[in-house]
Structure 1
Amino acid sequence: MTDETNGWESLDWKKELARNIIGVDQLAGYAAFSAEELSKLREVEQVHPVNIPRYYLSLINADDPRDPIRKMCFPSAEELIVAGSMGETTADPYGDDKHDKGNGVLHKYDYTALVVATECCAMHCRHCFRRRIVGRPGNQLLKDFSGAAQYIAEHPEINNVILSGGDPLLLSTPILQKMLSRLAEIDHLDFVRIGSRIPVTFPIRLFDNELMDVLSAFNEKKPLYIATHFNHVREITPTSTEAVKRLRQCGAIINNQAVLLRDVNDTPEALVSLMNRLLGIGINPYYLYQCMPVSRVRHHFQIPLRRGIEIVDTARAKLNGYATRFKYILGHDIGKLEICGMSDNNIVLKQIHARSGHGEQASRIILLPLDDTAGWVTL
């Protein structure tokens, strides 16, 4: 299958979503697995379920067992590894639990509130840092948006809100409209962000005219930003390009937050292709995250920081000014840290966000010794 020949744009998104490949047994109809592999993958799906749209499956080169698209959506026996040579792992690398205000609201930075609006995603990405909640209802999820909106309204220091999850664009259009309408009424909010991988994994959703009308109407009241997540240039297809165009026609500004992933985009050439193509479809390269030390993710997706710095520096030397604007980031428990480079054997970090109550840490420079294998830093 190829993206150009399937008429994805004309499909009913709800009906197509119901045709997702769910579970290892269904996936076995699309790829060859040995009996031993199937046994291990059935263990894997107990801790992170399999869920792949047919659209995203169509992007895989079936003749390449190391295909980067396949790696991001197919379960792997390596997900059974919870400790190993890369170091310790955690189920909550971003420290969400510490900043949980209830009813889906995470308030880590004074000026930003994140609302975990849903546990549902169109696809269960294998590198997901919130895999402990995706596809699994839990205590951190939104129960009643009026309670979340009330918290935001009562905290005038909050000037922007991120609707996250899961994937908010997978909510029904009427529910999303109610959320956005309530946020539009809060005077001290300057803008709203929606974090979504829908443009990448399930762009079919964005051909719903009703959804586009809702986003356009909100953008008339407050600026709307979409934070999306393309990791590889082959995820940029004619269908996703047209879907992004529709978002831009709504007035949304689209920024990309990629993750540096082993055997997916961990070469200068892969990053150059990705950043250039993003600009070519009207998306701003914004962040490139170091893969977090997530349980059942770190040991097959994370690369050493020293190697990551070399890859990023080499790529930047081949990119134009707009394409180099992305920051190489550690999404750390203490706040976001920009990875600036190496000085002798020290990694140079700049803290660009600080947690509430730790304002003195913002903008500080941090130098830490770094060996060749370290994939994360302890602070």
Structure 2
Amino acid sequence: MILQQNGSRRFKAYTSKHLDELLRRAGLDDEERLKVRAVATVLPFRTNAYVVDELIDWSAAPDDPIYRLVFPQADMLPAADVARLADLLKAEAPNTEVQAEANRVRGQLNPHPAGQKELNVPRIGDEPVPGMQHKYPETVLVFPKQGQTCHAYCTYCFRWAQFVGDADLKFASDDVAGMVGYIRRHPEVTSVLITGGDAMIMGEPVVRRYLEPLLELEQLESIRIGTKSLAYWPQRFTGDPDADDTLRLFERVVAAGKNLAFMAHFTHPRELDPPQVSAAVERIIGTGATIRTQAPLIRSINDDPAVWSSMWRRQLRMGMIPYYLFVERDTGPQDYFAVPLARAYEIFRDAYASVSGLCRTVRGPSMSATPGKVCVDGVTEVAGERVFVLHFIQARDPSLVGRPFFAKYDPEAVWLTDLRPAFEERFPFEPPGALLPS
């Protein structure tokens, strides 16, 4: 089933057609498997042999954190929706009928949070530049058409809508000339983030097609590559046929005077265990690139300060730089995975307090919300009122960056839109007259 190549396993993906067989390994009965399959008609499922064989502890499934990280759960969606979809599957309804119901459920899940499809689209004149986002003045995000999948999908992924096969929900492009032309017209852009999906799902020739033109742009200081490949397929940098070519490409980026930052997504310490990961990290750092680590805080997977402090310490020892702890975004199964902001702050604070200063490069808990990246700095009492203290790490309006503001304390709040301003009629990012409902 898994072929050997250059001493390493060849990549093998598992998709929804393999789901029932894999769920049997987790000990789920017929009814439980049917419900999970129902959820998988709405949310995407994809994993691979490396994750299945090397990372998941099947003796602990379905409670194993890595299992929960990649396999849909029966209660991730409203029970009534799951029941309707399960009934359709059980009755072997036509696929068009199943998909119509799945699309209805998807429409209720806020598939494009923070205006990521509508508000951030760059333009040249009146014409939109597809497959790009320009949310902050200095940073442009590029979504290569060939990178709109991953080695495996995370169950909490805020970009889940990219992977469900609905063209109306996707944003991607292979217009490299349009990308370069837009950046040239905007000298304030100094950083490009190649993301997806997963940029490293692409082979070296395709990655090179996007990176090489950027090396000619003197205004660019840094190129970032967003990826989960180190956790889900480290062989991309050790045993794959184009692993060496990819690393040589990274060396060229660094030699061109650009800071190459590898934005690695690690959600649980077990993802760091296999020796392939250490080997891949060593090879990437050897090119002159840096590796910065980030992940969201996810209930039932990593909502424990000991998990985070363990990850940050190990990442530091391996030469990586802890960068972000995110709050689960307001999309998809947020209700299932979200941790209240008050608890998120406590987890971050306790983990942060237990590591050395070199690990304290990490920032969080951070919400990537519509107006920008909002960090929860703490909970305190001001003028007799208990409040959240917050600030913008990044903002659409750069004048807001770094300025503290306050929100009324709410132990149930999980996102910026759940909060109400304290001491003012509106938050600083809201226009005059835009009062929040009482």
Structure 2 length-normalised TM: 0.79
Match of 1:110 in 2: 137
Aligned alpha-carbon RMSD (Å):
2.2
Aligned-residue offset at 1:27:
2.1
Matched, 1:80 2:77: yes
Question: Any stretches of 5+ residues in structure 1 without a counterpart?
Answer: 1-5
Contact 1:120–1:166 (8 Å) recurs in 2: yes
Does the 8 Å CA contact 1:121/1:135 hold for their aligned counterparts?
no
Whether the 8 Å contact between 2:44 and 2:160 is mirrored in structure 1 is: no
Match of 2:221 in 1: 190
Seen in structure 2, the aligned counterparts of structure 1 residues 115 and 319 have a Cα distance that, compared at 3 Å, is: same
**Which residue matches 1:250?**
287
8 Å CA contact retained: 2:111, 2:332: yes
| Alignment counterpart, residue 344 of structure 2, candidates 287, 300, 308 | 308
- What is the one-letter code of the residue matched to 2:404? I
Unaligned runs of 5+ in 2: 81-107, 123-128, 418-426, 428-438
| 1:374 corresponds to 2:413 | yes
Q: Provide the residue aligned with 1:288 in structure 2.
A: 325
1:1-379 mapped onto 2 (5 Å cutoff): 10-11=7-8, 16-17=10-11, 19-23=12-16, 24-28=19-23, 30-57=25-52, 58-64=54-60, 65-81=62-78, 90-97=110-117, 98-101=119-122, 102-117=129-144, 118-134=147-163, 136=165, 138=167, 139-207=170-238, 208-221=243-256, 222-237=258-273, 238-296=275-333, 298-328=334-364, 329-344=366-381, 345-355=386-396, 358-378=397-417
Do 1:9 and 1:239's aligned partners in 2 also have CA atoms closer than 8 Å?
no
SS at match of 2:394: coil
Say if 1:119 and 1:137, in contact at 8 Å, map to a contact too.
Answer: no
**Count of aligned pairs:** 364
Q: CA deviation at 1:176?
A: 0.6
SS of alignment partner, residue 342 of structure 1: strand
Contact 1:327 1:339 (8 Å CA) reproduced: no
State the SS of the aligned residue for 1:350.
strand
- AA at the equivalent of 2:326: Y
Q: Secondary structure at the match of 1:299?
A: helix
* Structure 1 range deviating more: 334-343 or 362-371: 362-371
What amino acid does structure 1 have at the position aligned with 2:57?
N
Shift of the 106–75 alpha-carbon distance from structure 1 to 2, 3 Å rule, reads same
Instruction: Give the CA deviation at 1:262.
Output: 0.8
Larger Rg: 2
- SS in structure 2 of the partner of residue 78 of structure 1: coil
User: More displaced, 180-189 or 141-150?
Assistant: 141-150
Please give the alpha-carbon distance, in whole angstroms, between the structure 2 residues aligned to 1:210 and 1:337: 38
* Superposed displacement of residue 305, structure 1: 0.8
Distance (whole Å) between structure 2 residues aligned to residue 352 and residue 59 of structure 1: 33
Runs of 4+ more than 3 Å apart = 6-9, 135-139
- Amino acid paired to 1:151: Y
AA at the equivalent of 1:215: F
Code of the residue aligned with 1:187 in structure 2: it is E
Q: Bigger relative contact order, structure 1 or 2, given CA contacts below 8 A and separation 6+?
A: 1
1:28 deviation in Å?
3.2
Kept in 2: contact 1:8–1:239 (CA 8 A) = no
TM-score normalised by L of structure 1: 0.91
